[in-house]
Amino acid sequence: MLDPSKFVALVTGATAGMGEAIARRFVEAGGRVVATGRRADRLARLAGELGERLHPAELDVRDYAAAEALLASLPEPFRAINVVVANAGLALGLKPAHEADMEDWRRMIDTNVTGLVNTVRATLPGMVERGRGHVIAIGSIAGDYPYAGGNVYGGTKAFAKQFCLALRSDLVGTSVRVTNIEPGMTETEFSLVRFKGDEARAASVYEGAEVMSGADVAEMAFWCASLPEHVSVARLQATPTDQAFARPEMMRR
């Protein structure tokens, strides 16, 4: 297993849910983390709690120039990033395609597809140059298994999966690993965002079901990153034990 104190991880979407849990997992294991997201207050709170091995940095993943500027401005102990967790993402709405809001579709594509590509393109050259690195994308089982209303969201996660597989082809011989983690239902702020602040509707998604937590997914990301450097997990798909493939309709309650 790799020495966790040598990890310098950049995590997108570290202000909530899985991203926050992943940042926490790497710092608590002794690594350094550049924790990013749009909500600066939450990043500051996390930095206050986790201490100097966490560097908070505001970043909207849709802005490629901002990602490059951030990398150029990192303090020395955080410059040699060797794990990139491209986690920032969202689903908006659950309407059938013929009724869906075009603006929701655009935002999902801008965040989950363009944001992922921006994060990877900005961080890859440094990792290739240093001969060490690991891209961990947070995809979803929705990238494999369709469900009603998952239209564009599932499409963006299918993109993440295929993009990661393609990256692996490009990166053979560079020592940079690529992993697409594909979780099933995980209780985070995901449904609150999907249903635009409707707390009752968001809570009903998880009611009576034993779903995964951000910490469960963080453990998967940490395990993939900790494996010896000659081992590269391509895809890691995991669901709650009571979920088969897709959303609640496939779940025992």
Q: Report residue 215 as tokens.
A: 């910490």
Q: Which residue, among 35, 44, 31, 42, has the nearest Cα to 77 in the 3D structure?
A: 31
Q: Which residue, among 246, 55, 239, has the nearest Cα to 154 in the 3D structure?
A: 246
- Regarding 185 and contact with ligand 8X3 (CB under 6 A), the answer is yes
- Regarding 32 and contact with ligand 8X3 (CB under 6 A), the answer is no
Distance, in Å, from the CA atom of 97 to the CA atom of 75, rounded to the nearest integer, reads: 45
Binding residue for ligand 8X3 (CB under 6 A) from 15, 132, 247, 251? 247
Distance, in Å, from the CA atom of 46 to the CA atom of 26, rounded to the nearest integer, reads: 13
- Regarding 161 and contact with ligand 8X3 (CB under 6 A), the answer is no
Residues 92-111 touching ligand NDP, rule: CB under 6 A, are 111
What is the phi/psi pair of residue 143, to 5°? -80, -15
Residues 122-151 touching ligand NDP, rule: CB under 6 A, are 138, 140
Q: Report residue 94 as tokens.
A: 């659950």
What is the phi/psi pair of residue 187, to 5°? -80, 110
Binding residue for ligand NDP (CB under 6 A) from 105, 159, 163, 190? 190
Considering all CA atoms of the chain, what is the largest pairwise distance in Å, rounded to the nearest integer?
50
Active site residue 206: no
Q: Which does 247 bind (CB under 5 to 8 A by kind): ligand 8X3, ligand NDP, none?
A: ligand 8X3
- Number of other CB atoms surrounding residue 64 within 10 Å: 15
Closest approach of Cβ 218 to ligand 8X3, in Å?
16
Q: Contact region for ligand NDP (CB under 6 A) — 47-55, 56-64, 76-84, 224-232?
A: 56-64
Which stretches of the chain bind ligand NDP, using CB under 6 A?
12-13, 15-19, 37-39, 59-62, 87-90, 111, 115, 138, 140, 183, 185-186, 188-190, 193, 214
Which stretches of the chain bind ligand 8X3, using CB under 6 A?
140-142, 150, 185, 246-247
- Active-site positions read 153
